[in-house]
Structure 1
Amino acid sequence: MLLDGFGRKHDYLRVSVTERCNFRCQYCMPEKPFSWVPKENLLSYEDLFKFIKIGIDEGIKKVRITGGEPLLRDDLDYFIKLISDYKNDIDLALTTNGFLLPQMAQKLKDSGLKRINISLDTLNQERAMKIAQKDVLPTVLDGISKAKNVGLKIKINCVPLKNINDIDIIDVLDFCKEEGFTVRYIEFMENSFAKSGAKGLKADEILNIIKTKYPNIKKVPRDTSSPAQYYMLEDGYEFGIIEPHKDDFCSSCNRIRLTAEGFLIPCLYFEDAMSIKDAIRANDIEKATQILKKVLQNKPEKNKWSTKDDNKVSSRAFYETGG
């Protein structure tokens, strides 16, 4: 069992396979040039898998593949199959912007992927272009359709930004309700790589918008293993809101993150990290395990988005770690 210094059990590993992305979203990396880390700096799939096996053997029950945009890395289905073949009952998931799903959905399903989270911030083509800085919506919607058709379980992630896509909150909800998807609205996490002046909506603001169409919303008892607080409409449909600006986002945190370059990150907000690259490349499993446990022992109690200071901004590059 993997425990941190505050007694929190960690059974969820998020693995970034690339920092590259084919979008330039306003809340993530709008000004970053299109570039990539040299291949020799990245852990191979085989080396990433060595560490994942350590995690699974120590109690990891859920593995999520992230980026950047993970589908940009070649042969991702091969990597997913390595994990699935090692432990076929692992909760194996992927987060993607959906742009490359039309040609990849079947391969991902066949490799053992079970679930997929897809970013969908609006159903308006012009606003989607403004957020991602390219014309993406028709292809993303096609990717969502393909993923559904091959039998992947789908969740939708939506980051509402003030004066940009806040008017689309209900449209995204209705789309997901009709399609049978769960939508989770994510409060914008202030970071130094986002577009200057970008402002997100807090949970109460999101709920107030939804209540203009669905006034009778009930809070669902919280599942401590989920980062989201869920709510139920009168017809039984449930949606979630992820609120990093509240302490309870951290009190039950069960996640640790591994970057494509081999850095273990204990908390999404802070820059603190330790590298397992050398240990893994040397096949020193004992040392890599020791580093994992040390990172967990040093994990902070909570992020700083949850403080009362509205100016708290993380220097974390989310495109290196996923969300």
Structure 2
Amino acid sequence: MLVDPFNRVIDYIRVSVTSRCNFRCLYCMPNTPFEWEPKENVLSYEEMFEFLRLAIDEGIKKIRLTGGEPLVRKDLDKFVKMLHDYKPELDLALTTNGYYLKKYAKKLRDAGLKRVNISLDSLKKDVAKKIAQRDCLDNVLEGIDEAIKVGFRVKLNTVVMRGINDNEILDLLEFAKNKGVQIRFIEFMENERAYPGIKRVDSKEVLEKIGSRYSFKELPKKNEASKNFVLDDGSVFGIIEPHNEEFCKSCNRIRLTAEGYLIPCLFFTESYNIKEAIREGNIQKAAEILRDVVKNKPEKNDWQEEKISDRAFWETGG
């Protein structure tokens, strides 16, 4: 079992299989050039699996595959199958922008993937295109429908930005209700790569807007990123507040990048690289690095009102 200095059991790892993405979202990487990472810099699926097998043996129970956009990396379903075959009860999930999901959903489901989180920042084609800097909404909506069809447990993620999509909160909630899936509204996390002038809408305002139409109550907090609420009809929605200390108190996550960096906290720049140890076949060294990451996991993130993160979120999966 992996336990950090604050008695949090670390049983969840987010794995960025690639830092590449086919979107250039305003809140993430709007001005980052499209480029290819040299193959030798990126862990192969086999190398990732060697480390994750170790992490599973040490107590990891949940793995979420992220990017960049994970579906731009070839043969992701084969990687999913490697993990599923090693431990079928593993909670295997994927976070995606949904653009290629219609094409790959069934393959991923058949390989053992259990859950999918899909970004949906707008229901308006022009706004979605403005945010992603790509004409994407039709593909994303088709991806959502296909994910539901093949039997995934689906959640939708919306980053709420003032003056851009904050007028769609109720429409997005209604959309999720009609699809029978949960939506989570995420507070924008300030970072140096985001488009200048993006403004956060805090959770209090989101809840006020929802409360103008629906009655709801907060559900007991579980060990997950979101605070969850239930409407009178039983529909559940969530709020993710990365700036709130409560977000950190229940944090059970570490992150692995495609280049082999293990990251104990999203908002800290500290990281540890396991690539050399894995490529040398030194599993003992990789295990030591894993334990060091957990041992050095901070109590809370380093976010402050006057401080902007320089973390490249597309490398860590957010």
- Please classify the TM superposition score into its range, dividing by the shorter chain length: over 0.9
Equivalent position SS for 1:198: coil
Q: Provide the C-alpha distance between the structure 1 equivalents of 2:157 and 2:163, rounded to a whole number of angstroms.
A: 19
Q: State how far apart, in whole Å, the 2-side matches of 1:255 and 1:121 are.
A: 24
**Aligned match of 1:298:** 296
Q: Using the TM superposition, give the Cα deviation of residue 304 of structure 1 relative to its aligned residue in structure 2, in angstroms.
A: 2.5
The answer as to whether partners of 1:21 and 1:69 remain within 8 angstroms in 2 is yes
Aligned residues: 318
Q: Specify the code of the residue in structure 2 equivalent to 1:166.
A: D
Q: CA deviation at 1:27?
A: 0.6
Task: Give 2:316's aligned residue.
Answer: 321
Please state how far the C-alpha of 1:312 moved relative to its aligned partner: 2.1
Aligned to 2:171: 171
Q: How does 1:21-32 map to 2 (within 5 A)?
A: 21-32=21-32
Q: Equivalent pairs: percent with the same residue?
A: 56
The 2-side partners of 1:137 and 1:210 are apart by 23
In structure 2, the residue matched to 1:233 is 231
- Amino acid of the structure 2 residue aligned with 1:218: K
Q: Which residue of 2 aligns with 1:279?
A: 277
Paired residue secondary structure (2:32): coil
Partner residue in 1 for 2:220: 221
Q: 1:4 and 1:35 mapped to 2: Cα distance?
A: 37
Distance across 1 between alignment mates of 2:130 and 2:151: 31
Distance, in Å, in 2 between the alignment partners of 1:106 and 1:221 is: 33
Find the partner of 2:260 among 259, 262, 269: 262
The answer to whether 1:246 aligns with 2:241 is no
What is the Cα deviation at residue 311 of structure 1? 2.2
Unaligned runs of 5+ in 1: none
Q: 2 CA distance for matches of 1:209 and 1:290? A: 48
* Structure 1 counterpart SS, 2:160: coil
Superposed structure 1 runs of 4+ greater than 6 Å apart: none
**TM-score, length of structure 1 as denominator length:** 0.97
Distance in 2 (alpha carbons) for counterparts of 1:178 and 1:24: 29
- Do 1:15 and 1:260's aligned partners in 2 also have CA atoms closer than 8 Å? yes
- Aligned-partner residue type, residue 114 of structure 2: K
Q: Give me the TM-score of the superposition, normalised by structure 2.
A: 0.99
Match of 1:108 in 2: 108
RMSD: 0.8
- Where structure 2 has 5 or more consecutive residues not aligned to the other structure, the ranges are none
Tell me the distance in 2 between the aligned counterparts of 1:253 and 1:103.
Answer: 33
| Separation in 2, partners of 1:155, 1:297 | 31
